[in-house]
Each structure stands twice: as C-alpha cells, then as structure tokens.
Amino acid sequence: MTIMSRRKALGVVGGSLVAGAVAGGAIVTGAGMTNQAHAAAPGAAARFQFEEQPFGWKAHVLDPAECAAVAYDGYWHKGYGCGYGVFYSIVGVMAEKHGAPYNQFPFSMLEVGKSGISGWATICGALLGAASAYALFWGRKERDAMVNDLYRWYEQTAFPIYNPGPAAKGVAGDLPTSIANSPLCHISVSKWCYETGFADKSKERSERCARITADVSKMAVEIMNAKITGAFVKQYKNPESVEYCNSCHGSGKESPIAKGKMDCAPCHSGTEHTQNKYKDHP
C-alpha cells in the first residue's frame, strides 16, 4: 500500500479538478480526456468561438462638430493621443448618448495608435482610430470605400484646420498648414516640421496633431453619417502617381508587385529628399 502525504494528495486532487472542470461533463482521467468534448476546451473545435455576430453594433448619426471637439480633448486625455481621440469621439460619444453596447469597449486600447502606432510613425493614429470605429459597424465590402475616401482626403488636405480657440490645450492661435500627400505619420509630421521649422517634440507639433485629430474625427463622422443615411458617394480619386505606377505594377500588369493604395510620390519621386539620405546625408 502506497502512503501519500496530505500535501501531495491535495496537489493531485487539485490538478485533476482544474483539468477536469469542463462544462458538459468532460473530465480528465489517467487515460486522458473523454470523447465528450466541450466548445470551451482548447483545440480546433473551440477556435474563433468568441467571434461576435458580424457587425452587430448599430451606428448612430452624430454631430461632426461635437465629435471634433471631443476628439481634440481626447488627444490630450492622459496623453492617449490621436487614435484614442478619434475612436472615442465616435464610439465613446455613442456610449455617452446610447449606453450599451458602446460603453462596454475598452477605449484605452486605442492608445496603441499614438504617434503612428507605438511611436513607429506608420499609419496616422487618427486614421487608425476612425477605421477601427467603422469596423465595429460595417464589414470590409462596405467599409473599404469609406476608409478610402477618408484616407484620400487626408492625403490631399492642408492641415490643421480645426482651431479650438480659447479651449486650446497646447498652443493657442493659428498654426501653419501643410499637405502630407500621405497617410503615414512619419511623412505627415516630418513634412510639416520641415516646412514650418518646428521640431517634432515641440508644443506646436503636439498642438498640430491634436487639431488634426479633431479634423479627422469631423470628416470621419461626416462620412459615417452619409453611410447611415444612404447618401455616401465616393469623393476622392486616386492621385496621378498611383495611376501611373499601377499601369505597370498593378494587379495583372507587367510587373504586379505594388501593394497598397497610398500616394507613391512622397517615397518614390526621386527628389533629393527621397534618396539614400541615411547613407550620404547631407
């Protein structure tokens, strides 16, 4: 007869209970799991089970001007930045007005969009916040046209437009503008700093991005409202560079290697600013 200590016995029993605590009666024995599998058990049968019904949340018409002001304040809130500001200005405002399910979202998650996603200066976080909000309500086939128009507008617009007036949290008054010709944070910010003389870490640059957060929110909500009411139509065409490059590098062409939709010129124009500056600068 084998004698087992109380500590060891409790460990064995506890481990068996944890392993066997599966709803539906499936338990683990010395021979392994029974054939009665449950949906919550690990494995292929359970994978992706937590996916919601596709796009079950209903979008509500919002006031673009109100959302722009919320987005501006959201940019500064706890330093969460542009992605949070735009996303909260849409879904958060719906939460404030309509309650559940909008108030059940972990909004601070969108802080990841700050400075072009964790400081990497890739996609502008404000655009990420808007596209993420759209994705709560519409599938890819409906959403892509909305995202396309928002991003094209961003590429071609002189920013910032929004002026918070006496409610300014960074720098008050008018700010100089620039056209990014790109949805990328790196290009948008760097080009503005180059043209205005302000440094990336300046208060003016932070204020500029806060105002762009408001600008993106306003346009994103206008597009969303048009979608909800059935009035949405495509407004922005591809830039010349995209059409030109895709004539050779687009799908089904001679060299189908191009991926993406953004304006090609900022990175592939061949100007002195797009050469190997990291190697030969200045």
Which pLDDT score, from 0 to 100, does residue 245 have? 84
Which pLDDT score, from 0 to 100, does residue 174 have? 97
**Geometric angle at alpha carbon 113, from 65 and 137, rounded to 5°:** 60
What burial class does residue 267 get, using C-beta atoms within 10 Å of its C-beta: 0-12 exposed, 13-18 middle, 19+ buried?
Answer: middle
Query: For 158-192, what is each residue's pLDDT tens digit?
Result: 999 999 999 999 999 999 999 999 999 999 999 99
Question: How far is it, in rounded angstroms, from Cα 155 to Cα 262?
Answer: 8
pLDDT category at 237 given cuts 50, 70, 90 is confident
CA nearest 130: which of 170, 171, 89? Answer: 89
Using CA atoms in the order 112, 113, 116, 117, what is the torsion angle rounded to 10 degrees? 30
| Exposed e or buried b per residue across 153-187, where buried means at least 16 C-beta atoms within 10 angstroms of its C-beta | bbbebebbebebeeeeebbeeebeebebbbbbbbb
Give start and end residues of each alpha helix (H) in 157-202.
185-196
Residues 6+ apart with CB under 8 A from 99: none
Task: Report the chain's terminal Cα–Cα distance, integer Å.
Answer: 84
Tell me the three state secondary structure of residue 34: coil
pLDDT category at 42 given cuts 50, 70, 90 is low
Residues 6+ apart with CB under 8 A from 34: 25, 26, 27
Give the least confident one: 34-43, 143-152, 208-217: 34-43
